[in-house]
Structure 1
């Protein structure tokens, strides 16, 4: 290492070339590379465009889209929860939240018949995403998850 430093400092212009090289690198970085990086970062290249603007959070008034989302959730609950045909979905107790980018959480109640307790209300939640433009088409919806709470009285 001492030999390298000795050779480096021995030349007349070595330190001057080092300083010029560092200054050149700094100038190229500030005037060439960084503006290019900043223009790419400011562009929309990395952002998913939202299909439409919608209010995020709890949805107070039931829209047709939420009605379709609820019906697809009910189908998923019937399938995943192994519910009988006698199960009643209480749509008036349903709630919906918009998460943005056509993602929704639907929470509602299903009334099932328990052998020991009789009729039992059971809460469920479902996360859905609308993946196409036709909200009435079942293929336009994707069920991302279904969850049941324990039966309550």
Structure 2
């Protein structure tokens, strides 16, 4: 094996060059992107409440209606399902995003009436809260009610 007497020097220069490239070119570019507003989602509404909403609002009503539609479409439920909308709970998660929890009553063969809980996370992406096109479903989950 032939070694150049300068190989250690080249290694040190190469490592030093990589360090300088990172410090002078790559990191300033990364820091300028991080400091920019590229990754920040501006709050759409300053006065939007966060957390569990004790009082139902018009917007949570529309969010519930959108969740109901998603449950009907993706829930694989029979036609005789009864939505128990008066018992729903809503949480505001910020940036027009809501978690809605409610239940449905259905009759399963051999078991009789069964209540199933569902939760869905929705986000209002448009400006007209009454329009179904203004809502996006982020998640949907069904669970049998605990006894």
Query: Which TM class, normalised by the smaller chain length?
Result: 0.7 to 0.9
Larger radius of gyration: 1
Q: How does 1:48-59 map to 2 (within 5 A)?
A: 48-53=41-46, 54-59=48-53
Alpha-carbon separation, structure 1, partners of 2:42 and 2:103: 34
Stretches of structure 1 lacking an aligned partner (at least 5 in a row): 5-24
Query: What's the counterpart of residue 75 of structure 1?
Result: 69
Measured against aligned partners, the alpha-carbon deviations of 1:19-39 in whole angstroms (never above 9, x if no partner) come to xxxxxx9xxx7xxx97x9877
Secondary structure at 1:72 match in 2:
helix
Query: What's the counterpart of residue 16 of structure 2?
Result: none
Moved over 6 A (4+): 36-40
Secondary structure at 1:133 match in 2:
coil
- Mapped pair 1:46 → 2:61: no
Secondary structure at 1:85 match in 2:
coil
Alpha-carbon separation, structure 1, partners of 2:36 and 2:146: 51
- Mapped pair 1:112 → 2:106: yes
Q: What is the TM-score with the length of structure 1 in the denominator?
A: 0.71
May I ask how many residue pairs the two structures share in their alignment?
Answer: 135
Compute the RMSD of aligned alpha carbons. Answer: 3.2
Measured against aligned partners, the alpha-carbon deviations of 1:1-51 in whole angstroms (never above 9, x if no partner) come to xx76xxxxxxxxxxxxxxxxxxxx9xxx7xxx97x9877655534311121
Q: What is the TM-score with the length of structure 2 in the denominator?
A: 0.74
Alpha-carbon separation, structure 1, partners of 2:42 and 2:82: 39
Query: What's the counterpart of residue 21 of structure 1?
Result: none
Query: What's the counterpart of residue 123 of structure 1?
Result: 117
Q: How does 1:4-153 map to 2 (within 5 A)?
A: 41-53=34-46, 54-152=48-146
Alpha-carbon separation, structure 2, partners of 1:151 and 1:95: 15
Offset at residue 92 of structure 1 (A): 1.6
Question: Quick check: 2:50–2:94 contact (8 Å CA) kept in 1?
Answer: yes
